[in-house]
C-alpha cells in the first residue's frame, strides 16, 4: 500500500521486520516471527479469548464438550457434535482477520479448537465401537460440510515465475493441495505441479528450471514488433505447443495426469465466440483433452497469441484430434482468472489459496486492516495502515475507479479490441480465502515477456517463499482437519468395500474426492452424451 510507506513509522518494528525478511527457511521465519511478537507485545492478544472476529463463547463450550466426550468414550455423541462443528469457517475460525493481528499465530482458543477437532476425528477413526457403515456415512457428511482446499495460480506473463516460490514453500512444508487451478502463465506452472508427483516436483523447483523457460527465445524489442506486424501475434502457437509439452509430459491428458499423481488440474479457457460459455478444463469436463493445448488456449491473450483449437487424445488409438468441434479458445483471464464458482461446483472447494500476480490487478488490492502474518504497523489503538485519512483516500480512489469501470461495462461503452471483449478484465473476483501477492518491482514491468536467468529465478523463488511463509500456519490448520477427514473416508471405504492396498491409485483418489457415487454417475452420463 502506498500510504503505509509514506506515513507509517519505523523504530524497533522496522529493525525486527528487516530480520524477519532475511529468514533463510520457514523454521527460521517462525522463530523470528515469534520473537517479534514477544518484543512488540502481541502475545497478549493471542492469550485473550475475546474478539469481535469470531464466536469465542461457542468455541469455549465446544472445546470443553469435545474433551469430555472423548474422556467418556461417548463416540456416538462425539460424532453428532463433530457433524455440527466441522464446517467451513465454523464460528468464524477461518476469519483472516484472526491471523492478521500478529506475525505468527492466532488466538490460543482457535489453536485449541483445531487440536480438539483433530483429536476427536482421530478418535472416531481408531475406535472399534462404531460400525464401519456408520463411520463411512459420518465421514462422507463432514467431508461434504467441510469442503476442499484448492490452490489457484493467476496469469501475469513473466510475473508468474513467482508462483514457483509459492509452490516450493507449500511443498516443503507438506501443504500443497491436490486441487490446483492455473490461468495463462499460472496454468503452465499448475500443469508442471499436477503432472509430477511431489517428490519429482521438489527436484525441479530450483533455479536450474530457468533453463527450461525459453518462450521468449532471447528476442529483443525489434523482434517482437516484427513478429506482431507480420503475424498479428507476438508468439507462434506451433512453436509454443512444442515447448509446452515438456511441462505436461508430452500429450498427457487431464485423466492421465489425475491417474498418475492423484492431483486435479483445472485450466480455465474462454471461447473466441463471445456468446459461448467458458469452460474449466479438468478430468471431469474434458478428460481426454491434451493439457498442452489448454495451456496454449489459456495463454492466448489477443495480440500475444492467436486463439487455438483444443486437442484431445483418442483413448484407444492415442491419435490427436480436435476437441469441441474445432472451436477456437483464448485466455481464460478475459472472463475468469480465478474460477472459484466452478471449483466449488465440481469439487466442493470452499477454501482457496490464490497466488495473484496479474499486473493490472496488483494495484487494486488493499489490506487496510492488516494481512495474514502482517499486522498493521501502527501503535496500539490505531488500526489502519498509514493512519485513517491516507487509508481512506486511497481506498476511495480505488473504489471510484471500479465504479466507473462497472458503468462502462454495464452500458457497453467499451468497444471490442483485437476482436475480444475486455470489459470483465478488471471486474472479476481475483482473490481467495488466502491471497498471496509476491512483491513486484517497477523495473519488472519492463520485462513482462522476458525469460529469467538462473539468478533472477532464484531471487523470485526466494521472495515468493517469504511472502508465503506468514500464511502457512493458517493453511496448516485448514489442511490438518481436511486430511484427517480424508484419512477417515479412505480407511472406511476400503473396509466396507473390501479394497486392498493393491487397488489402483485412481480408485483411491476417486474415493477420497468429495463426489458422491450418484454425482459421479451423473458426470459419467454427461460425458457419454457429449461424445
Q: Give 268-317 pLDDT, tens digit per residue.
A: 988 877 666 788 999 999 999 999 999 998 888 777 888 889 999 998 89
d(CA 180, CA 149): 9
| From 68-72, 227-231, 252-256, the region with the lowest mean pLDDT | 227-231
Residue ranges in 366-516 assigned as alpha helix (H): 388-410, 454-468, 472-497, 505-512
Residue 219 grid cell: 528476442
Distance of CA 290 to the CA centre of its chain: 22
C-alpha angle 437/400/101, rounded to 5°?
Answer: 40
Summarize the confidence of residues 36-50 as an average pLDDT: 93
- Whether 421 shows a pLDDT value over 80: the answer reads no
> Residue 523 has what pLDDT?
38
Residue 138 grid cell: 459420518
Summarize the confidence of residues 117-122 as an average pLDDT: 98
Q: What is the pTM of this model?
A: 0.85
**Residues labelled as active-site residues:** 184, 331
Count Cβ atoms within 10 A of the Cβ of residue 37 and give its class: 0-12 exposed, 13-18 middle, 19 or more buried: buried
Residue 168 grid cell: 516450493
Residue given cell 515477456 in the structure block? 449
Could you tell me what percent of the chain has a pLDDT over 90? 56
Q: 436 and 467 in contact (C-beta within 8 Å)?
A: yes
Q: How confident is the model at residue 16 (pLDDT cuts 50, 70, 90)?
A: confident
Distance of CA 216 to the CA centre of its chain: 27
Which segment, 191-195, 379-383, 421-425, is predicted with the most confidence on average? Answer: 191-195
Other C-beta atoms lying within 10 Å of the C-beta of residue 96: 18
The residue among 1, 3, 7 whose CA lies nearest residue 363 is 1
Q: How confident is the model at residue 113 (pLDDT cuts 50, 70, 90)?
A: very high
Q: What's the distance, Cα to Cα, between the start and end of the chain in Å?
A: 50
- Whether 384 shows a pLDDT value over 70: the answer reads no
The residue among 252, 293, 249 whose CA lies nearest residue 269 is 293
> Residue 494 has what pLDDT?
63
> Residue 363 has what pLDDT?
67
| From 13-17, 278-282, 432-436, the region with the lowest mean pLDDT | 13-17
> Residue 267 has what pLDDT?
95
- 412's CB contacts (< 8 A; 6+ apart) are 423
Q: Which residues pair with 267 in a beta bridge?
A: 281
The residue among 4, 111, 51, 45 whose CA lies nearest residue 370 is 4
Distance of CA 342 to the CA centre of its chain: 14
Burial string for 232-244 (b: 16+ CB within 10 Å, else e) reads ebbbebeebbebb
> Residue 519 has what pLDDT?
38
Summarize the confidence of residues 476-485 as an average pLDDT: 98
| From 167-176, 260-269, 317-326, 351-360, the region with the lowest mean pLDDT | 317-326
- Whether 11 shows a pLDDT value over 60: the answer reads yes
Q: Which residue has the higher pLDDT, 277 or 153?
A: 153
Amino acid at each position: 500500500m502506498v500510504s503505509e510507506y509514506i506515513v507509517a513509522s519505523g523504530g524497533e518494528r522496522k529493525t525486527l521486520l528487516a530480520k524477519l525478511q532475511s529468514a533463510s527457511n520457514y523454521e527460521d521465519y517462525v522463530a523470528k516471527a515469534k520473537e517479534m511478537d514477544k518484543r512488540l507485545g502481541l502475545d497478549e492478544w493471542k492469550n485473550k479469548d475475546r474478539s469481535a472476529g469470531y464466536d469465542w463463547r461457542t468455541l469455549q463450550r465446544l472445546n470443553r464438550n469435545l474433551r469430555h466426550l472423548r474422556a467418556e468414550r461417548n463416540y456416538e455423541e462425539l460424532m453428532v457434535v463433530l457433524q455440527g462443528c466441522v464446517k467451513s469457517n465454523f464460528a468464524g475460525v477461518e476469519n483472516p482477520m484472526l491471523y492478521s493481528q500478529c506475525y505468527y499465530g492466532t488466538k490460543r482458543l482457535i489453536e485449541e479448537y483445531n487440536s480438539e477437532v483433530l483429536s476427536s476425528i482421530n478418535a472416531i477413526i481408531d475406535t472399534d465401537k462404531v460400525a464401519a457403515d456408520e463411520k463411512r456415512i459420518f465421514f462422507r457428511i463432514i467431508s461434504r460440510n467441510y469442503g476442499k482446499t484448492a490452490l489457484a495460480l493467476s496469469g501475469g506473463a513473466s510475473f508468474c515465475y513467482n508462483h514457483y516460490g509459492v509452490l516450493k514453500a507449500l511443498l516443503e512444508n507438506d501443504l500443497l493441495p491436490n486441487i490446483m487451478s492455473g490461468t495463462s502463465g499460472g496454468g503452465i506452472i499448475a500443469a508442471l505441479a499436477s503432472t509430477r508427483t511431489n517428490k519429482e516436483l521438489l527436484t525441479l523447483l530450483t533455479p536450474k528450471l530457468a533453463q527450461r523457460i525459453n518462450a521468449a527465445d532471447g528476442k529483443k524489442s525489434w523482434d517482437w514488433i516484427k513478429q506482431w506486424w507480420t503475424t498479428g501475434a507476438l508468439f507462434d502457437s506451433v512453436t509454443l505447443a512444442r515447448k509446452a509439452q515438456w511441462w505436461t509430459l508430452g500429450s498427457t491428458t487431464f485423466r492421465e495426469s489425475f491417474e498418475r499423481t492423484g492431483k486435479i488440474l483445472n485450466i480455465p479457457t474462454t471461447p473466441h465466440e463471445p456468446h459461448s460459455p467458458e469452460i474449466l478444463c479438468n478430468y471431469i469436463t474434458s478428460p481426454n483433452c491434451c493439457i498442452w493445448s489448454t495451456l496454449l488456449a489459456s495463454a492466448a491473450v489477443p495480440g500475444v497469441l492467436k486463439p487455438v483449437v483444443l486437442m484431445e487424445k483418442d483413448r484407444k488409438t492415442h491419435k490427436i484430434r480436435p476437441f469441441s468441434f474445432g472451436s477456437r479458445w483464448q485466455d481464460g483471464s478475459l472472463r475468469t482468472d480465478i474460477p472459484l464458482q466452478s471449483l466449488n461446483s465440481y469439487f466442493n472447494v470452499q477454501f482457496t489459496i490464490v497466488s495473484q500476480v496479474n499486473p493490472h490487478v496488483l494495484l487494486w488490492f488493499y489490506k487496510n486492516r492488516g494481512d495474514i502474518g502482517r499486522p498493521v504497523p501502527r501503535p496500539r489503538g490505531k488500526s489502519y495502515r498509514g493512519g485513517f485519512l491516507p487509508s481512506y483516500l486511497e481506498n476511495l480512489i480505488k473504489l471510484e475507479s471500479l465504479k466507473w469501470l462497472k458503468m462502462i461495462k454495464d452500458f457497453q461503452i467499451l468497444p471490442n479490441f483485437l476482436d475480444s471483449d475486455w470489459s470483465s478484465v478488471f471486474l472479476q473476483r481475483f482473490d481467495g480465502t488466502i491471497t498471496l501477492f509476491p512483491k513486484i518491482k517497477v523495473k519488472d514491468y519492463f520485462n513482462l515477456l522476458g525469460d529469467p536467468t538462473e539468478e533472477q529465478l532464484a531471487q523470485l523463488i526466494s521472495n515468493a517463499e517469504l511472502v508465503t511463509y506468514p500464511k502457512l500456519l493458517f493453511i496448516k490448520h485448514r489442511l490438518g482437519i481436511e486430511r484427517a477427514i480424508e484419512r477417515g473416508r479412505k480407511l472406511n471405504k476400503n473396509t466396507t468395500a473390501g479394497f486392498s492396498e493393491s487397488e489402483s491409485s485412481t480408485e483411491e483418489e476417486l474415493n477420497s474426492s468429495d463426489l458422491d457415487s450418484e454425482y459421479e454417475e451423473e458426470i459419467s452420463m454427461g460425458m457419454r452424451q457429449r461424445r
